[in-house]
Chain A
Amino acid sequence: EVQLVQSGAEVKKPGESLRISCKGSGYIFTNYWIGWVRQMPGKGLEWMGIIYPGDSDTRYSPSFQGQVSISADKSISAAYLQWSSLKASDTAIYYCARRVGATEAVDYWGQGTLVTVSS
């Protein structure tokens, strides 16, 4: 069974750093892209970026380039989304999702990680 399991909710202060994770299981992790999606409170879905764990090829949406960093550790089937200096406006639920390159299907989703940034 394919699963994407994300790390737990975080409460941080502005200026702090953070890394959240997404662990894949039930499939060959290095053969599929992992994307990250933001959902701010009461708002829609926003595509942030994507990584291919096989070779760490990473692409960012223009709105998120330079704001976050996406990485992966294929030895433990994990993808990461990282901030070096959080802002209150980073408060959101963050989802990871699997993309099938050959078909451009985005099929399996993680359960989401709530990040709250507040002083």
Chain B
Amino acid sequence: QTVVTQEPSLTVSPGGTVTLTCASSTGAVTSGYYPNWFQQRPGQAPRALIYGRSIKHSWTPARFSGSLLGGKAALTLSGVQPEDEADYYCLLYYGGAWVFGGGTKLTVL
């Protein structure tokens, strides 16, 4: 059973920068895992932010960026806003199967 691991929780100050990561139990995450990132605010459906490791959707704010970092997929928020407080999930592709990470609860404090 493949497991995708994210930090359970992170805290960042308004205006600060924070990086969330997404690791695979199968080894290093590469572009071939086509990492997707989603934001979910309380009581709302998930919203897509990033796909293909670093490509933003047309609606994704510029302060969000995706990358690969140390064998993991990463989502960096620069200039964090209060409305960025939410749960963030990564999704990895395993050649016909897809697995979500457990999610990171981001607190802006």
Instruction: Tally A residues with Cβ within 8 Å of B.
Output: 23
Chain B residues lying within 8 Å of A61, measured Cβ to Cβ, are 97-99
Evaluate whether A108 and B34 lie within 8 angstroms (CB atoms) in the complex, with A44-B100, A103-B55 already known: no
Question: B63 within 8 Å of A by Cβ?
Answer: no
Contact B52 A47 (CB under 8 A): no
The segment from B16-24, B41-49, B67-75, B77-85 found at the interface with A is B41-49
Question: A55 within 8 Å of B by Cβ?
Answer: no
Question: B61 within 8 Å of A by Cβ?
Answer: no
Give the Cβ gap from B89 to chain A, nearest Cβ, in Å.
Answer: 5
Question: A13 within 8 Å of B by Cβ?
Answer: no
Contact B93 A109 (CB under 8 A): no
Interface residues in A73-119 by Cβ distance below 8 A to B read: 95, 97, 100, 103-112
Q: Dominant SS at the B interface?
A: strand
- How far apart sit A67 and B87, CA to CA, in the bound complex (Å)? 27
Contact A45 B97 (CB under 8 A): no
Evaluate whether A47 and B48 lie within 8 angstroms (CB atoms) in the complex, with A62-B1, A103-B34, A106-B36 already known: no
Question: B96 within 8 Å of A by Cβ?
Answer: yes
Counting chain B residues whose Cβ lies within 8 A of the other chain, the interface size class is 20 to 34
Question: B91 within 8 Å of A by Cβ?
Answer: yes
Contact A46 B96 (CB under 8 A): no
- How far apart sit A35 and B97, CA to CA, in the bound complex (Å)? 11
Chain B residues lying within 8 Å of A106, measured Cβ to Cβ, are 36, 38, 48, 51, 91
Residues of B with Cβ closer than 8 Å to A? Answer: 1, 34, 36, 38, 40, 45-48, 51-52, 55, 57, 87, 89, 91, 93, 96-103
Known contacts A37-B46, A47-B91; 16 additional CB pairs below 8 A are A37-B100, A44-B89, A44-B103, A62-B97, A103-B34, A103-B55, A104-B93, A105-B34, A105-B55, A106-B36, A106-B38, A106-B91, A107-B48, A108-B48, A109-B46, A111-B45
Question: Would you list 8 pairs from A and B whose C-beta atoms are within 8 A, ordered by A residue?
Answer: A45-B89, A45-B103, A46-B100, A50-B98, A103-B51, A103-B52, A106-B38, A107-B57
Residues of A with Cβ closer than 8 Å to B? Answer: 35, 37, 44-47, 50, 59, 61-62, 95, 97, 100, 103-112
